[in-house]
Structure 1
Amino acid sequence: MESKAPWKQTVGLLALILFARIIFKWYSQRAFFRRMAKEYNLPCLPNHSWIFGDLITIGKTMAKYPPDIQGQQLPYFLMKDYPEIVDTGVIYLDVWPTAWPFCAVWHPDLAAQFTQEHPRPKHEFMRRQFRPFTGLKDLSLSEGAVWKKWRAAFNPGFAMSNIVALVPAFVQEALVWRKYLEQVAQDGETVRLEQSTMKVTCDIIVRAVLGVSIGVQTGKDTKVYPMLKKSIAQLVTDWSPASLPKLLNPLRPFTLQTSNKILSDALRDHIYDQFRNHERTEGPKTINSLAIRSYLKEKGGAYDPDSKLDPDFLSHAVENLRMFLFAGHDTTATTLCYCYYYLHRHPKALEKLLAEHEAVFPSSDVAVIAQEITSKPQLLNQIPYTTAVIKECLRLEPPVSAVRSGGPDFFLTHPVTKQRLPSEGFMLWAVSKAIQRHPTYWTDPDDFVPERWLGGEIRKNTWRPFELGPRGCIGQELALTELRMLLAMTVRDLEIIPDFDEKDPYVLGTQAYQAAVSGELTSHPKDGMPVKVKLRQKVAG
């Protein structure tokens, strides 16, 4: 009888070893979770399974919602199914092997402990997700001295005084977008609003960072935006079945490397242009030009426009710009969509916003409004109700949440019960959706009430769409200014009307629920927010 070929024996042995490792990991993970839950009396879901952990219980909850619902809403949905956990402020979940086990926090003061009081490092979940994208050199993922150095370099560019100086350039991109919306109104077709909001916000963040108009909206740009989206589409957020096609695609690393290289080369060229023209550039300084100023100051010596940039500076600058482009176009575009959506659904709020704009910008002529904003960007700080609308949209529909690493010596302390809660082996998750809709901290938490932001006391640590603490989003003021400007240049005469199918499902009272969209990483409006655009019949001015 012939023996099996050696290669078959080798493959069989490797398969057996792999299977044994999976079983060992599986058992170890379940045993660890149960040991920690028993030892520390952790708040957990009922019916934890040795085989499936909490996946079956979670699956039953998520089955009540559309299959494309975005996963960051899970803890909020669990609060609805298990009212007994609402007041605990935290729950431990065992979701291995789809993701790390995590400690989901919705008590605002618990979240503050690992984001503000004792900021924990970013979790390996995020590091694995973005390592192929930025090499962990960006502000979001870097740590320690590297983070401090680059945060200091970029802070001047994101300062409010500098953002205000850049507003005239933003207005030019907004005018391009308006032409598109006017054409949509003329055609009478239904479009996915988010497709255009992502393009205009990308054009604006490029203006802010590099000081050039690359023409994402007009199609002139063939490298930055296309390669940015192509790279993002290759990133993996978890190990769920939905991610398996990407995880198992042998061409994925090559595709990601290629798109990253094209994007890096394009950004590098722009950085060198700014460097060569650093002393000749007049007018407001862009975010990257101020970083170059910091670099030159640190380097010392005479400025030589023909010299080579330090490779370390160039590498970190490219990776940070890459992340700025991602964060600057994605979440801002989503929030803009929700502003139009909620304003349409709440006519009284829209009426108040229009009255505010009519008072600050008396003419309804967009050319006049654009000129007024260009000459007096500070006018955007005189529309508080508009800011309230934006903040309320971000409260109801936060696009992201913060995740941090636990550690053997780091414990959370419950503000009420004083229970010590371990973090070792868990991903710490500040669930912004659950915190910002929690009935203990917000009156009518699921209702759209912009007035709550006008003079009322907002409970500390409860509004965190940009996160709080030293690692909070550096672009918060840029995003808010950009959103105010875009609304000011559109709402007076353009009516943006959601156009969902009447059969589309509702989640939390809305058809524009936060969905997981193929090729994207954060929460996005269902179906990209289908809308029609019409000219308003009555316009003051």
Structure 2
Amino acid sequence: MFATLTWPVEALTIALLLVTATYLYINLYYKRFKQNAHLPHLPPSLLWGHLKTFDDFTKRGIRDRHPDAIAADMHRALGQPSIMLLDNWPIVPPMVLVTTHSVAEQISKPSNTFQYSAPKSPSVNRILDLVGPHSILLKQNEPWKAVRKRFNPGFAPQHLLTLLPVIVDKVTKYLENIDKFARLGTQFPLDELTTNLTFDVIGAVTMDENMNAQEPRQGTLVRMYRELIKTYADDKLQLPWWLMPRTHLRRHWLGQRISHQLEGIVRRSFEEVDAGVKPDEESTKSRSILSLSLHGIQSLTPEILAETCDQLKTFLFAGHDTTSTTTIWCIYELSRTPRAMQAVHAELDTLFGPGGAREPTTISKKLLSPGGEDIIHRMTYISAVIREVLRLHPPAGSVRKSDPGTGFVVSAPEGKYNLDGNWIYLCHSIIHRDRAVYGETADDFVPERWLQPNNDIPASAWRPFERGPRNCIGQELANIEARVIIAMLARRYEFTKIGLGEFELGKDGKPIVDDKGYNKTKSELYATIQITAKPVDRMLMKVKLAPRDN
């Protein structure tokens, strides 16, 4: 009788398993082959989506190259449509890669569907411990607008130029450290020295804190931040927490310690502001971005304290990362493009006198004297260099989203597409090399393209700081800082790339110049993902002082 009773139970179990399996199959089939069938994409696998295809394309080139480079190969294989679906679910939700500026502009500008542009996707949660849960990167709509309004005064161009003495002081220390390597003649990672510099700058201008990042014994806050960043940089596959719980727990612990350090800084700044310290030309502390954000705050509630700390965490990360990476790529591109370096030298000679830019004291005195702000604005060729480097080597794209049922439709040359239910990735590295915009020199370093008054380049085709309401709040700081750094480097030193990207030398020991006027290289220097895109070898260099007659 017992056997008689168990048969229906076994049959029911099998039936339930079959129903469940059928349900899962139907849903997976719909997700893979029906839900986004209207979007251009390579053929997906029922089980793997595009994961296996992505892996196949990865193996066709340099394995650890940036994922954007792999996506670009897939995009070319598909015929280079304006948008492309990349379905790597369940690792990440299905993602629509936007590869043309006209479609990207529809996503970043305000619309009837999205008042402040398409909302940011939850992808930022991956760096939650780095920026904090109250970061401006995670906020949407009115809460985002309130935080942006509160911090805008500190990032206003006219205010940032009053902090020029702080930037110049930190760059002067940077040159002292490079001088040491020039004397020793040994190779070194330029990325490390430059990151230390930009940490010092962002700490000073945002909080008026001495981070001691350029000293042999760095400040506690810098050491913790660098350790936290390393946990992300080492995670090339961006694995979920359940596959590396110890790493995620360490990230959380470090993030909490950083927040605790920042809380003390915010409280001290609030006490100063509350005591009546006003922004003026005599007080650097009262003019920090943090102190300006606290004016008008009646009480430092736990909510305001937490929100302020998370904005500082965000500024510390974004503020040091973009500028340092841009600077080292500028040095590399200038060193391999003789005509561009000569143009920079000529501009510096005009601004600081013939050969004057070789001496840091000459640059410092002129920048800090009356009219120094005007010199920053007159660095037109250097600005074009920075702009071109950000085109060729954008630090990161922007990931947005459109929830199911939103009805968000974009227009592309191929037709109209509803993007609901997907993450939307504005892929800067593809948009910035669009031959329809930049022609046959799309992959070349040509700063001059930005100096032509009628270059026919749409404003929306250059977007490293993104565009629309949610553009980067710190872009003007990054531009001012990068101009000062390059001005103080370009005339003083000669940099030589070591390893990847090293130049081919002729019998005379000088670099061989190709038909386009660039120094030929023995190998390709490429970017890899380390939260953002960075040179894979940390820009390994040798340096020497430039000769006087150069």
State TM-score, norm by structure 2: 0.85
Deviations 1:414-444 (A, max 9, x none): 2434x33122221101111111001001121
- Is the counterpart of residue 430 in structure 1 residue 426 in structure 2? yes
1:143/1:539 Cα in 2 relative to 1: closer, same or farther (>3 Å)? farther
Alignment of 1:117-136 (within 5 A): 117-118=110-111, 119-126=117-124, 128-136=125-133
Counterpart in the other structure of 1:3: none
Hey, what does 2:66 align to over in structure 1?
70
Assess if the C-alpha contact under 8 Å between 1:237 and 1:521 holds in 2. Answer: no
**Residue 260 of structure 1 corresponds to which residue in structure 2?**
255
Matched, 1:533 2:530: no
- In structure 2, the CA distance between the partners of 1:494 and 1:24, relative to structure 1 (3 Å rule), is farther
Amino acid at match of 2:378: Q
- Could you tell me which residue of structure 2 aligns to residue 4 of structure 1? none
Residue of structure 2 aligned with 1:340, choices 320, 331, 335: 331
CA displacement at 1:187 relative to structure 2: 0.9
Pairwise CA distance, 1:23: 10
Mapping of 1:479-518 within 5 angstroms? Answer: 479-501=478-500, 511-516=524-529
* 2:159 corresponds to 1:162: yes
Paired residue secondary structure (1:65) = coil
Q: SS state of the match for residue 460, structure 2?
A: coil
Root-mean-square deviation over aligned CA pairs: 2.9
3-state SS, counterpart of residue 98 of structure 1: coil
- Name the CA distance, whole Å, in 2 between partners of 1:449 and 1:441: 14
| In 1: Cα distance, 2:20 partner to 2:185 partner | 59
Runs of 5+ in structure 2 lacking a partner? 1-12, 112-116, 504-520
Give the equivalent residue in structure 2 for 1:368.
362
Residues 414 and 263 of structure 1: CA distance in aligned 2, closer, same or farther (over 3 Å): same
Counterparts of residues 95-494 of structure 1 (less than 5 Å): 95-118=88-111, 119-126=117-124, 128-235=125-232, 242-244=237-239, 247-278=242-273, 279-280=276-277, 282-284=282-284, 285-295=287-297, 299=298, 309-362=300-353, 363-364=356-357, 365-375=359-369, 376-407=372-403, 408-417=405-414, 419-443=415-439, 444-454=441-451, 455=453, 456-494=455-493
Q: Deviations over 1:511-531 (max 9, x none)?
A: 321112xxx311101210101
Gaps of 5+ in 1: 1-12, 300-307
Give the match's secondary structure for 2:541. Answer: strand
Do the aligned residues in 1 keep the contact of 2:84 with 2:98 (CA within 8 Å)? yes
Amino acid at match of 2:361: A
Q: Is the CA contact (8 Å cut-off) linking 1:203 and 1:215 kept in structure 2?
A: yes
Which residue of structure 2 aligns with residue 303 of structure 1? none
Summarize the Cα distance change of 1:166–1:77 in structure 2 as closer, same or farther, 3 Å threshold.
same
Deviation at 1:377, TM superposition (A): 3.0
Distance 1:162 1:387 in 2: 20
How far is 1:57 from its partner? 2.4
Quick one: distance in 2 between partners of 1:60 and 1:156?
49
Q: Distance in 1 between matches of 2:228 and 2:163?
A: 28
Percent identical among aligned pairs is 28
Tell me the CA shift for residue 134 of structure 1: 3.7
User: Shift of residue 312 of structure 1?
Assistant: 1.4
Describe the SS at the equivalent of 1:528. coil
Give the conservation status (yes or no) of the 8 Å contact 1:209–1:288: yes
Q: Distance in 2 between matches of 1:348 and 1:157?
A: 37
Task: Tell whether the 8 Å contact from 1:200 to 1:216 is kept in structure 2 after alignment.
Answer: yes
Q: 1:479 to 1:236 in 2, by over 3 A?
A: closer
**Cα distance, 1:471 vs. partner?**
0.5
| TM-score of the pair, normalised by structure 1 | 0.86
The equivalent of 1:32 in structure 2 is 31
Q: How far 1:63 sits from its partner (Å)?
A: 1.6
Size of the alignment, in residue pairs?
500
Distance 2:139 2:148 in 1: 10
